[in-house]
Structures are given as C-alpha cells and as structure tokens.
Amino acid sequence: MSEYRIHHDVNELLNLLHVRGGDGAEGYIDLLQKHRTPYVTTTVSSHSAKVKLAEFSKTPEDFLRKYEELKSKNVRHLDPLVYLLSKLCEDKEMLQSLQQNAKERAESSANTTSTTTTSYSLPQTSTKMSMQELDELRKKLGNVTASSTAPLPAEVTRKMLRDKHNKKNPTQPNPVFPNWVYDRPALLGDFVISPTPPGDPPVAIGTMPMATQEQALVEDLLFVLIGVDGRDITAQPVLGRQNRSFIVDSTLDMSIKELVNRILPVASYYSTITRFIEEKSSFEYGQVNHALTAAMRTLMKEYLILVTQLEHLQRQGLLSLQKLWFYIQPTMRTMEILACIASSVDKGDCMGGSTLSLLHDRTFNFTGDSQAQELCLYLTKAASVPYFEILEKWIYRGIIKDPYSEFMVEEHELQKEKIQEDYNDKYWDQRYTIVQHRIPSFLQKMADKILSTGKYLNVVRECGRDVTCPDAKEVLYTLKERAYVEQIEKAYNYASKVLLDFLMEEKELVSRLRSIKHYFLMDKGDFFVHFMDLTEEELKKPVDDIVPPRLEALLELALRMSTANTDPFKDDLKIDLMPHDVITQLLRVLAIETKQEKAIINADPTDVVLSGLEAFSFDYIVKWPLSLIINRKALTRYQMLFRHIFYCKHVERLLCNVWISNKDFRQYALHSAKWFSTAFALRQRMLNFVQNIQYYMMFEVMEPTWHIMETNLKTASNIDDVLCHHTSFLDNCLKDCMLTNPELLRIFSKLMSVCVMFTNCMQKFTQSLRLERLSLEQETMDGPPTQSKPAEEAEKKRQTTKFLAEHVDALQSDAGFEAAISKFDSNFSKLLLDLLDKLSIYSTNDCEHSMISIIYRLDFNGFYTERLERMAIERSQKAAV
C-alpha cells in the first residue's frame, strides 16, 4: 500500500470515528509504516479468526451465514478483514473505546436528526396491535426484504451492461442475440414450468408393484437429468439464484424414494449449470464468462452422452435404479463443482478478472483433491485465454483491446496536447489506470508492472513507432506463477529500456533539462546581465503597457549576443507575462490537488497594477513525449524558482545602482556625515543579504541538487524513476529556497520590499541633490564668460562646493532623511533577525539542515548570535509557562 493510500485511509478512519486533536493523521501514519507487516492469508488463520468471531458474536449462526454468503461471492480481502476483527476482539481497551465512540456517534446523529427532521404522529403507546395486524406487518416486511435482496431480472441486467458498454464505446456497440432466443424457453435446455394439462388424474404410483415403480422412476429420472419433467417427479419454479428443487410423488415406496432423493441433486446441478450457461453466454457478460461457459458446455456434452447411454440401457431393460445410482455417482462430484462455480460467479456478478480470481482460488483450494483440482484447472485455463490475449497485446505492444471492460487496465479519454496547459497534469497518471476488482488474484503482485509495461510501449507508439517485444511468447495459466511472472518481467524490462533509450538518446532529455537550467535557474550569467540591461526600461512599465513582441525581440538579441547562442534549444525559450505576482503563483502551485485548487485557479487576477518586473517570467516549448517529464506542473515549479531569483537579481541591481550614484558624494566634505555613513552601511548590509541569499540558492541548493539528479538519471532503469528524480529535484529546490514555507516567504518578501523602498528613497535623494547642484552651479557661474585665470576658476569651484555641502546638510535635515534611514535600518534588522530565528527553528525542529547555511553566511562574524540566543531563551520560557 502506498504512503498516499495509507494517508487517505487513516484520514477517512479518523473522520468516521470523529477523532479530533492529538498528533493527527501523521502520527498514526508513522506508527503504521514502522510496525506494519504483510498479512499472509492461510486456511488455518482465516478459519481460527472466523471461529473466534463466531464465538464473540451474539448470533453466531447469522455471522457464519453472512460469512459464507460473502465467501461465495468471492469478496476480496474478506479473510484479512475477519483476521483484523478477531484481533480487535482480543483488545478489551480497544473494544471499550469503539463502543464508547459508537454510543457518542449515535447520540450526535440522533440529536442532528431530531433538529433537522419534521415531526411525525406516532400511535399512542397504550394501543396494541392485533395478531392479524402483526402477521400482515410481518408479511409486508418480508416482501420488502425479499424485493430488496432479490437479483435483477436477466433482461434488465443485460440492458444495463449493454448501455454501460455503449456509453463507453459508442462507435462499437455490443452484438445482441435476437429476442426469440430469450422468448422461447424450450430452447434453453432447462425445465419448462407449464400448468398441468386437463384430463383424468394419473394413477398413484404407490399402488403399482415395486418393479413397476422402479422402472417408472428410472424413466422419470432419465428425463429429469436432462431438464425435462417426469410423470412422478416434477421440478419446482425457481426465483432468482435459488437451487432447483423437485416434488416426488408422496405415495412412492420409501426405499425407492430414498434412492431417488440421492440422485435428484444431479438434476438440480444440471439445472443450475444450464441456466448459468444460457445466461452468461450473452455478449454482455464478456469474453471470460463466454469462454467459461464454452468449457462448461464441453463438459456437459460428456454428461449428456452418459445420460444417452443410460437411456439406451433402459430401453434394453438393463438399467435398474441401483445401476443408475452406480453409473451416476462419478459424475455427481463433477456436476457439484460446476454448479458451485456457476452459483458463485452468478452471486458475485463476476466478470473478467474477478471470474478468474474465483476460479484460481477454487483451483488452489482443491490441492488435496486431484480430480477436482484438474477440473477447476481445465476451467481456469479455458476462461483465462481471452484475458491473456488482452494481456499479451498490452505488455507486448502497448495496445488495449478490451471491448467488454474486463481487463485490469482501463483507458480514459485524455488528450496529450493538454499536458502543456494543465497545472495538474493527469495524462501519465490517469490515461491508463488499474481497476482493482478486475485484477486476477494470481496477477495481483504484478499489476503495477503490467500497467507500467503497457504505458511505456504506448508512449513510443504515440510517437509513430511500432514496437513489439522480441521475447513475446504466449502467456498460459498455470498454478506455477513463476512461468508467466517471468514473461511479464521480460516484457517490462524491454518496455523500460525502449522508452528510456527513446527519451534519453533520440529526444535528448538530459540536454533539454540542461537548456531549461540555463535560463530558468540562471545558469548563463552573461546572458542575464545582457538581457536585464536591454529590458530594464521596458520592464519598469506597467504590464499592460508592455509590448510582448518587443520583449521577444530583446530576448532574441540577448540570446544571439551571449554564450547562450551555442544552445541548440534556445529557440524554445519564450516570454510569459503572468497575470499574477509571484506569491499568487506560489499559492497556485501549493494548492494543486487540494480543495482550494479550483478556487485559486478560477480567481480573478489581482487588482493591483503589476509592473513588468513583477509579471515577467520565461516559458518553454516542450513537445510530446518529453512533455511527460517536463510537464506544465514541472514548468510551473521552474517558473517559481526563476521569478524568485530574478526578483533577487533585480533588487541586487537596484542596490548596486545606489552605490554607483552615491559615489558622487565623495567630492563633498559634508559637515554632518553621520546620517550618510548610516545609509551607506545599511545599503552594504542589504547588498550582503541579497547576494548571500542568491549564492545560497544557486550554489548550495540548485547546483548540488542538480548534480544529484544528473547522477540518478544515469542509473534510472525506467521512466517512472526519471519522473521521480526530476520531481524530487524540483521539490527539494522549492523547499530549500523557502518557497514552500509561507511564513519564511512572508518575512523574505517584506525584507525585499524594505530593500526596494530604501533604494527608491536613496535614488530620490540623489536626484534632488543633483538638481540642487546644477542650480547652485548656475547661480555661482552667472554672468558673461570671462577670460579669468585658472586660480580664479579654482576658487569659484571651491566656494561652490562649500556652499553646496552646507546646502545638502540643510536639505537632508529639512526632509527628515536621517529619521527615514533610521527607520529603514530598524525594520531591516528586525525582519532579518526574525528570518534568522525562524530558520534556526526549522533547521532544528524539522531537520532542514540545508537552511542553516543561510545563518552561517549572514551571521559569519557572530553579529546576530547574541540576539538570536536571547530570542531562543524567551521562546523557551514562554513554552514552559
């Protein structure tokens, strides 16, 4: 059982039991995975568990009857369930807890019902029902119960199966027998129940001599054995799946009657088998049941030949009742087994794989009875032929030809072209799926490999290449499972190798992934510097004012003028202006396969006007079959990583531009330079933070994780391994880059916002300073140009600089610039400490050791250590309280 299935089942159980609080599902899942052991069903363990539950039950007969009914229907996992229940019965505390839980749930449901349902008028408790009214009520309840449990008529069942098939395959309707096949009961070979013809009543057989009674009964039995009513033995009508019963003349001699009653079960078996053959031979019940009925017809021919031979002896006067009993005994066991199988298939509504499971279990259970096992083996081999033909086409060629929905693998109508559009790609997982109840029990262990084998070959076929397994051999049913297991293993190994070689060599999967890494993970540094220089002005505009073709042209120019020009797949890189910012895109990714997915995907874009920088992202054109690996979900993760790093690069450029523009201040001897040194120090701290975060993400997360993925891809043996390694790479990058933790992302976003606001403030101050400088210079240098000496020019410049310095000090003082810088410093320090503290918590509690590298890089000299330790002490004191 997969981890996801365990998680689902545990959550369902907790919801059913109304369990709240505690460690939640995760705690129970960890315990289950640590302590689970495979349950091996054996006859001894299932029998002892059944006996134990029967002893524990208040009504053992009802429990055993229900168990046998479910067993006859071939209900899957019945024995493991009984074994689990028997273990629960041994645990007294568990029983008390379940009883208490059931009582609480009953009370809560009763309260809910009383508040939501309308009131009904009930008779007074003093009134008593008469015996006649009580009998009528019992009859009505009995009729309701019988009608609810009675099977549907055969015509209705056939129509339902036909409609189901025609709905799934409208272009290939099921063939249908003409109506007269079903309207003429005399053609079916079973008893035809007709009213007794009018006339003189027959003479009672009990008044005849013993020899005459015996001869008459032999003749009647020979008729009854082939489904025809006799004179003194008549068949009773049957309802649904009941066994046929007979009425024997009550005046018959007791000794003869006893012998007749021994032979009559064979006639009942014949009736059950005949009805089963005639019903299940219809096309609606599938090829497996059709093959089973064909095998039964062959065995029934031998039975009819025996009855014909007995009739020949009877005509010659050589057949007595004792001889008839002697000749019929060897056939009785065969007929009993056939009737039992027919009843089980009929009761369980078995088709396809479930029929084969039932036959296999019967064959396996008759291990000590060689004759019965040989009979069941013959039936199972015959019934498995059409199923194995479908299996061979699937594992050898990747084709499903299953007109009656019997095969374990089901095909769904999904278009591979949508794989680049859907965020939650379902093509690979849901185009072909396993249907559990169609898996034969002897193929249960190989079901996943059978599914994967056909999927691998089908992908290659979708690319226009015809593939057939060179080791293809006919798959035959045998009790030695290793025979067909080896065939499936060979087909699986071939399919894995064919698809893997096709993707790796012909479609150059690794080269494609490297190309994506160049652009989405910023592997090509010179390309991005050139691209950002070219598009800086364009990306500052609102996203609605940006002309996408212009961005495409600038992208093309940057690609051609950098080392990216050597990439053969560079033309697949495209510009994508997203309708939402990076935080919203993150939520869309995190909401995949959750209840919030539909709401987030259908949500309107944000009302805030996005700039080009906030909306900008790359996209990549991927064609089939590479889109199985590089699907839309994977590209969305790449886009998340790219937009995260791209924004960090943008903030770094802003801080560097502040450094460049602030170099002009060096020529001024400012009178109060304290505020200015604080601004320079804060800018350097911000730049150090952004650069170290970038270094951490690119060289301590992405590069090592990429190399691990590359190494794993070289050793991958099938496409599922490739998918797993690629998804693991992206998930690890997202997690270690703090994109899957909303709390860390919120703090990081605020830090980036503080940096951007600081750069805007500094740029505004720089621009105002330059304007003042130009104005002062203009005032100082007013007047007609003169031929002054160099010494006079130098003196004028010195006076201008001195006056400008005094003016700048007054400007910053008036604007409250020093207070603004102090506020920026305070906010940045507080958020950075908060980020380092949260990183310390996650790296310790959640064992996310890679994130602790950020702390070591940002706190390399222990500047924040003391404050972090103080915060940890305060947190522990609060937890203790």
Assigned token pair, 789: 């000496």
Quote the CA–CA distance of 627 and 573 in Å, as a whole number.
Answer: 15
Quote the CA–CA distance of 235 and 247 in Å, as a whole number.
Answer: 6
Q: Which of 630, 526, 525 is nearest to 569 (CA)?
A: 630
* Cβ–Cβ < 8 Å for 46, 82: yes
Quote the CA–CA distance of 747 and 749 in Å, as a whole number.
Answer: 5
Count of CA atoms in the C-beta half-sphere (13 A) of 50:
19
Q: 822 CB contacts (<8 Å, ≥6 apart)?
A: 678
Q: Which of 347, 184, 339, 344 is nearest to 271 (CA)?
A: 339
CA distances from 612 to 122, 564, 620, 657, 842 (A): 72, 23, 19, 19, 34
Looking at residue 23, its pLDDT comes to: 56
Which tens digit of pLDDT belongs to each residue from 3-58? 556 666 777 777 776 666 555 566 666 666 666 665 555 555 677 888 888 887 77
Q: Which of 411, 350, 343, 348 is nearest to 383 (CA)?
A: 350
Q: Terminus-to-terminus CA distance in the chain, angstroms?
A: 43
Quote the CA–CA distance of 836 and 828 in Å, as a whole number.
Answer: 12
Residue with tokens 């009929």: 346
Quote the CA–CA distance of 682 and 695 in Å, as a whole number.
Answer: 20
* Cβ–Cβ < 8 Å for 633, 426: no
Which tens digit of pLDDT belongs to each residue from 716-725? 888 888 888 9
* Cβ–Cβ < 8 Å for 616, 539: yes
* Cβ–Cβ < 8 Å for 257, 248: yes
Q: 572 CB contacts (<8 Å, ≥6 apart)?
A: 515, 620, 621, 622
| Beta-carbon count within 10 A of 47 CB | 12
Quote the CA–CA distance of 564 and 567 in Å, as a whole number.
Answer: 5
Give the torsion sign (CA, 346, 350, 356, 359): negative
Rounded to the nearest 10 degrees, what angle do helices 632-661 and 674-695 cross at? 150
Quote the CA–CA distance of 726 and 633 in Å, as a whole number.
Answer: 12
Looking at residue 555, its pLDDT comes to: 86
| Beta-carbon count within 10 A of 142 CB | 10
| Beta-carbon count within 10 A of 45 CB | 16
Looking at residue 141, its pLDDT comes to: 58
Give the torsion sign (CA, 277, 283, 288, 294): positive
Which residues, in sequence order, are bridge partners of residue 432?
A: 411
3-class DSSP assignment, residue 741: coil
Peptide bond into 123 cis (omega under 30): no
Q: 543 CB contacts (<8 Å, ≥6 apart)?
A: 577, 609, 610, 611, 612, 614, 615
- Residue 410: exposed, middle, or buried by beta-carbon count in 10 A (0-12, 13-18, 19+)? middle
Quote the CA–CA distance of 278 and 810 in Å, as a whole number.
Answer: 107
Q: Which of 246, 245, 242 is nearest to 217 (CA)?
A: 246
- Residue 674: exposed, middle, or buried by beta-carbon count in 10 A (0-12, 13-18, 19+)? exposed
| Beta-carbon count within 10 A of 850 CB | 17
Q: What's the predicted TM-score (pTM) here?
A: 0.69
Assigned token pair, 705: 């994780």
Residue with tokens 């498995």: 384
Which positions of the chain have pLDDT values less than 70?
A: 1-8, 17-45, 72-74, 76, 109-174, 177, 179-188, 194-204, 206, 240-241, 414-428, 583-585, 587-609, 661-676, 766-816, 845-850, 868, 871-872, 875-881
Q: Which of 737, 658, 733 is nearest to 693 (CA)?
A: 737
Q: 269 CB contacts (<8 Å, ≥6 apart)?
A: 332, 335, 336, 338, 339
* Cβ–Cβ < 8 Å for 270, 227: yes
Quote the CA–CA distance of 791 and 773 in Å, as a whole number.
Answer: 22
* Cβ–Cβ < 8 Å for 857, 695: yes
Residue with tokens 């009984």: 82
Q: 229 CB contacts (<8 Å, ≥6 apart)?
A: 191, 192, 223, 235
Distance of CA 149 to the CA centre of its chain: 34
Assigned token pair, 378: 């013959």
Quote the CA–CA distance of 542 and 277 in Å, as a whole number.
Answer: 75
Which tens digit of pLDDT belongs to each residue from 528-538? 888 888 888 88
Residue-wise DSSP of 623-656: -TTGGGTS-HHHHHHHHHHHHHHHHHHHHHHHHH
Looking at residue 121, its pLDDT comes to: 41
Looking at residue 580, its pLDDT comes to: 74
3-class DSSP assignment, residue 358: helix
> Per this entry, what is the length of the chain?
881
